[in-house]
Chain A
Amino acid sequence: MGADPVAAVSGDRPVGVAIVDDHPVVVEGVRAWLATEPRLTVLATGDDPDEVLREAPDADVVLLDLRLHGRMALDKLAELSAAGRRVVVYSEHTDPQTMLAALDAGAAAFLAKHEGREHCVETVLAAASDRPYVPPALAGAMVGDPRPDRPMLSDKEREALLLWFQSMSKASVARRMQISEHTVKQYVDRARIKYTRAGRPAATKAALLARAIEDGLVRPEEIGIYRSQATHDRPTP
């Protein structure tokens, strides 16, 4: 594993999480998952994003069920991301198009509902510090991205994404690729950072990128095009 995701989160305050889902049983389940992690605290829950955020304006991360009351909340997701909210989308709709659309709209991460407690906690912690976390289902969507304007991934990045999607074990990927687990994570995260180019600019994407540069995950000279987006001085082409 790479750097501890929460290392840079300010102070001793635990990460505040808001959960938006229209199924109370799911809300309770996710709350129970997050409760096992002392660095996380659930501030508010509900089925309406606006209400939940009124209740918890300081939430660091919003866990958003993409399908609310029978419709896809992609617009809401874009609105929250543009406003700088770190939104982790979680959904049982794991078709690649939906996942990539969520990334384009500015989601910090996409989590399949069946991916379980460990991935959920990891994803929320990473999102809180503006660091990427790519659960296996999202890795699959990225590696199979058929869009002609998809980000250009290197061979190693593609292979790491593919094997991570298949095996769900970074240790096994590391053994297969004969590299360290840390390097596997770097390849996967770099691929994710390249996706900050796709779709509309959003404050969350800029933050992910800025942190990636700070962490040395990508070099500023590699990313020319990203910088303009990060500083919001002109729209991306």
Chain B
Amino acid sequence: MTLSVRDLAVGRGGVPLLAGVSFELTAGQALVLRGPNGSGKTTLLRTLAGLQSPLQGTVAGAEERIAYAAHADGLKAALSVAENLQFWAAVFGQREIAPALEAFDLRALAGRRAAMLSAGQKRRLGLARLMVTGRAIWLLDEPTVSLDAASVARFADAVRGHLAGGGMAVMATHIDLEIEAAVLDVTQFQAAAAALVAEDGAFL
């Protein structure tokens, strides 16, 4: 069970941002993406998630196995915390939402409407959603935004638990989560992308 990325070029609106990205992840491993704002971390994650197609190269082993946590949590304000989680659990063919509520300390808030949650609580609910997908590969885009220190620790525990259970994680984050993970600095792939533009003129 591996996620292998070979010679991947990704772009936004047809403009290449990163090129020549290659890495391999096996069960229990995590990868942290680093790079300044706008360097292409989100685009890389969206490509891995299959939401956009790569300009070049291949992603193998991601199909039907990824759970994506974007900037937006996809929560419905009119539904309660438990209803939001139950919906995603049902979509992914799972049943149990109790462990996810427990892991992100949401049990006391289960009956509250998502509209009444604070930004940090919404984020916790968005991350708890990953646990009810039952998917092996977590793709996390700035997962710790608006989380306090205690919640970050809870989240790190959840990721460690996921990895210990044979899962994988690729995350774009700037803070140190104290998780054993390889670090991939995406800025090294920008030069190759610029070369791709120069080579092909109008790359589309």
- The answer to whether A and B interact is no
